[in-house]
Amino acid sequence: MKSTFESVLEKILDDMKLNRPYTMNQIAEMIGVNWSTAKRAVDILFDIQDFFAAYEILVLGERPKMVLIQPRIRMSQLPSDVIDWFITSSFFTTPKQSHESDEARTLIVERVVESRTPINIAIDRIIRSLKLEDELSILEMSRRTELNRRTVDRLLDLLVHHQDKISQFRFVEMDGAILKEPRPDLYELDSPMIKLLLTKYYLPDESPDIPEEKERELLRLS
């Protein structure tokens, strides 16, 4: 039986062992798909994992069906110095800019990169649209992403179904292999590391460019 993309994503999330290196061929063999399908799913996880560490998607209502994102952060559990720093950051103090449909479309729909597949591009557009405007109807999201409503609905179902599980792990590439690591508990880290991750998740324009290996080392030491 042919695996659906949804089942491929689910098998990667469920069947990969923690902290064990896998080649792409090993991942493909483990879940019973070809190399390119496994690569496509892993690429998507790399693309969206930090978004789901930071945000949760909510789909509410029926007519119209509305899509919202809300931060996952639990402010009451942060150290007091981090709370003081974060509430004065641009995440809270800079008003969110609204965009008309045509303007948003030019920001979301970029030139197609040859190496990317249609599903990678579609998911990227949905995530971009939610970063740009944190509350949209399905119809408006369809307009802005240039995807039909059925595709938007299907991919939102996929993302909502897996988002909590995705938020629990970090997929990293090391020495040509893929590792699935448990995502560190933000609330157990020290204040400098919490600020670093909050900046990465919520203030990307202000985030320092830290290599993946250096970030992993800092998390281990925190």
pLDDT tens string 39-76: 999 999 999 999 999 999 999 987 788 999 999 999 99
CA dihedral sign, ordered 45, 47, 50, 55:
negative
Rounded distance, CA 75 to CA 175, Å?
A: 37
Which pair of tokens denotes residue 104?
A: 């948003």
Name, of 60-69, 80-89, 98-107, the range with top average pLDDT. 80-89
Q: Are strands 177-182 and 169-174 parallel, antiparallel or unpaired?
A: antiparallel
Higher-confidence residue of 109 and 103: namely 109
Q: Flag whether pLDDT at 1 surpasses 50.
A: no
Total length of the chain: 222
Return the pLDDT at 132. Answer: 87
Return the pLDDT at 221. Answer: 54
Contacts of 42 (CB under 8 A, 6+ apart): 12, 24, 27, 171, 178
Contacts of 200 (CB under 8 A, 6+ apart): 50, 207
Mean pLDDT along residues 92-97: 69
pLDDT band at 178 (very low <50, low <70, confident <90, very high): very high
Average pLDDT over all residues of the chain: 86
DSSP letter at 3 equals P
